[in-house]
């Protein structure tokens, strides 16, 4: 019953009731059912419960080691450690192993576009113009006649 108590939340109510009724019958008929059969039956119940994908997934999650708690570093500490670099595209501080992947993210590309927009217009506040550009791109993509130039590669959406 200890095993049943541990996984009661993971089993649908109908299945739990059937297993509980079967266990009750098994232990009520102790004289009828030999001890060896009861042990085999309990073994089968445990094996079937462990094969359940939800139970298996929760068991795997619970057996994972606890995450390391990282200390919060200042920007100077990050750059001095050598494990972090400044992204030349968006000026964000990024982990060295993640830099190339970061430069392909939508965030980095949007910041680069925003910086280019500020450089070409000479204004810092370009929110309305950036929103208009996004709306225009969406409208053209919806028409199916838009060719986008991203990172030196031409593709049609």
Q: What are the residue boundaries of the structural domains of the chain, listed by start?
A: 2-63, 70-123, 125-157
Q: How confident is the model at residue 30 (pLDDT cuts 50, 70, 90)?
A: low
The confidence score (pLDDT) of residue 151 equals 43
Q: Rounded to an integer, what distance in angstroms lies between the CA atom of residue 74 and that of residue 97?
A: 19
Half-sphere exposure of 32 (CA within 13 A, CB side): 5
What is the Cα–Cα distance from 118 to 112, expressed in whole angstroms? 10
Tens of pLDDT, residue by residue over 95-144, are 988 999 999 998 888 888 888 888 888 888 888 888 888 788 777 776 65
Buried b (16+ CB within 10 A) or exposed e, 108-126: beebbeeeeeeeeeeeeeb
* Dihedral sign of CA atoms 89, 95, 99, 104 in order: negative
Distance (Å, whole) CA 138 – CA 32:
74
> Per-residue pLDDT for 94 more than 90?
yes
pLDDT band at 152 (very low <50, low <70, confident <90, very high): very low
Output the pTM of the full model: 0.43
């Amino acid at each position: 019953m200890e095993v049943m108590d541990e996984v009661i939340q993971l089993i649908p109510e109908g299945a739990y009731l059937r297993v509980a009724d079967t266990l009750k019958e098994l232990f009520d008929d102790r004289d009828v059912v030999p001890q060896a059969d009861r042990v085999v039956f309990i073994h089968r119940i445990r094996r079937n419960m462990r094969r359940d994908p939800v139970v298996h997934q929760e068991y795997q999650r619970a057996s994972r080691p606890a995450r390391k708690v990282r200390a919060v570093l200042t920007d100077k500490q990050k750059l001095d450690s050598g494990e972090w670099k400044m992204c030349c595209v968006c000026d964000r501080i990024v982990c060295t192993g993640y830099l190339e992947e970061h430069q392909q993210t939508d965030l980095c590309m949007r910041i680069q576009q925003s910086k280019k927009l500020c450089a070409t217009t000479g204004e810092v506040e370009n929110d309305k113009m950036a929103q208009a550009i996004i709306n225009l791109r969406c409208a053209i993509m919806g028409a199916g006649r838009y060719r986008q130039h991203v990172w030196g590669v031409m593709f049609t959406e």
